């Protein structure tokens, strides 16, 4: 593969008036999202350059003087091992859930059996599971000091930006578990689709089409997974690492965006290459907690061993 240019030159387009990143100071929360949306991703704009990597760096917690180790108070038993802007995800992840849709709600004129309004409760695990324990960004990646998630970034750029924060792109199974929890929820908030909770169904809903609109929103306090991760469906489509894949075939998008689509925890898009960037593409980062697990593997996109 040809050597990649520096990150600053890879960033060719940036859509939206404001970019933002997840930092210890949380952005204002969107109270509720509108209710209509569409189906194919709009083409990326080539008019606005993506800011340099330094401007996309997450806010770091302010440094503070620490007392001598002998004087430092012991950490409380329930203290999170994750950085301030991340949440702990741990438990038993099922590799395959059986999820039956009881009511389809596909937009007029769109493909059938894609948008499920209500799933049967509960989901049924039909394979063996495995234990997982890792940290994940609470919010979608935002540029420093901004409230909206970064968009129009490629898989390659996302991997580099996570690495710059001493994190890495989330693996596909990590992202999935952080979204659905041990119960295997179809949507991070439960079994019934609710456009009022997350930024979905704003495009291609019942014939309404506004493909040129940038409809990103700040984090939603109502769109929360069982682990406390926000906006895992809707808002921006999030890049993850497809495990056990070779270079040029490692890119995968999870969660959907503001367009009406599947927008659920187990859906994914694998048709884009690692350099594709669109108005709807964003990401969040993960961080392993296994001392034996190489953080650098995930940061560069190489398959990491399964927990």
Asked if 199 and 217 count as a contact pair (C-beta separation under 8 A), the reply is yes
Mean pLDDT of the chain: 78
For residue 33, what is the domain's CATH number? 3.90.1580
Asked if residue 1 belongs to a domain, the reply is: no
Q: What is the pLDDT of residue 30?
A: 52
Q: Is the pLDDT of residue 297 over 50?
A: no
* In the predicted structure, residue 92 carries a pLDDT above the cut 80: yes
Which pLDDT tens digit goes with each residue over 15-62? 333 333 333 334 445 543 333 333 344 444 433 445 445 455 554 444
Please report the beta strands in 95-193, taking only residues with DSSP state E, as ranges in sequence order. Answer: 97-98, 101-104, 116-119, 124-125, 129-137, 168-169
Per-residue confidence (pLDDT) for residue 271, from 0 to 100: 94
- Look at residue 251 and tell me whether its pLDDT is greater than 80: yes
Domain that holds residue 240: 17-53+80-307
- Tens digit of pLDDT for each residue in 129-153? 999 999 999 999 999 999 999 999 9
Residue 72 has pLDDT above 60, yes or no: no
Confidence of residue 67 (pLDDT cuts 50, 70, 90): very low
Are 273 and 251 a contacting pair, CB within 8 Å? yes
| Residue 196 counted as domain residue | yes
Q: Determine which helix (DSSP H) or strand (DSSP E) holds 238, and give its type and residue range.
A: strand 237-241
Q: Name the domain count of the chain.
A: 1
Please report the sign of the dihedral spanned by the C-alpha atoms of residue 215, residue 221, residue 225, residue 228.
positive
Instruction: Kindly state whether residue 10 falls inside one of the protein's structural domains.
Output: no
Q: Per the domain annotation, does 74 fall within a domain?
A: no
More confident residue, 223 or 20: 223
Inside any domain, residue 261: yes
> In whole angstroms, what is the distance from residue 123 CA to residue 209 CA?
33
Q: What is the DSSP string of 193-229?
A: --TTTSS-SSBSBTTB--TT-----S-BTTSB-TTS-
């Amino acid at each position: 593969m040809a050597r990649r240019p520096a990150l600053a030159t890879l960033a060719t387009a940036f859509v939206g008036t404001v970019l933002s990143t997840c930092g210890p100071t949380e952005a204002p929360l969107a109270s509720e999202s509108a209710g209509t949306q569409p189906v194919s991703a709009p083409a990326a704009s080539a008019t606005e350059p993506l800011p340099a990597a330094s401007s996309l760096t997450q806010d770091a917690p302010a440094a503070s003087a620490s007392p001598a180790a002998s004087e430092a108070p012991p950490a409380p038993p329930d203290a999170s091992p994750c950085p301030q802007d991340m949440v702990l995800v741990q438990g038993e992840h099922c590799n395959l859930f059986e999820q039956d849709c009881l009511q389809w709600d596909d937009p007029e004129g769109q493909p059938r059996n894609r948008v499920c309004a209500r799933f049967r409760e509960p989901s049924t695990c039909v394979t063996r599971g495995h234990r997982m324990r890792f940290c994940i960004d609470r919010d979608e990646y935002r540029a420093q000091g901004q409230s909206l998630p970064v968009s129009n970034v490629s898989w390659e750029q996302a991997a580099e930006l996570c690495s710059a924060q001493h994190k890495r792109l989330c693996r596909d199974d990590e992202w999935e578990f952080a979204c659905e929890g041990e119960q295997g929820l179809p949507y991070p908030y439960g079994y019934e689709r609710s456009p009022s909770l997350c930024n979905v169904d704003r495009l291609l809903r019942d014939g309404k089409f506004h493909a040129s609109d940038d409809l990103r929103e700040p984090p939603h306090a109502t769109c929360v997974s069982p682990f406390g991760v926000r906006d895992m469906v809707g808002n921006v489509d999030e890049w993850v690492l497809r495990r056990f894949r070779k270079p040029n075939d490692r890119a995968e998008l999870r969660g959907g965006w503001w367009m009406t689509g599947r927008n659920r925890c187990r859906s994914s898009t694998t048709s884009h290459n690692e350099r594709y960037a669109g108005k709807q593409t964003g990401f969040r980062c993960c961080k392993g907690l296994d001392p034996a697990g190489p953080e650098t593997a995930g940061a560069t996109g190489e398959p990491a061993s399964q927990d």
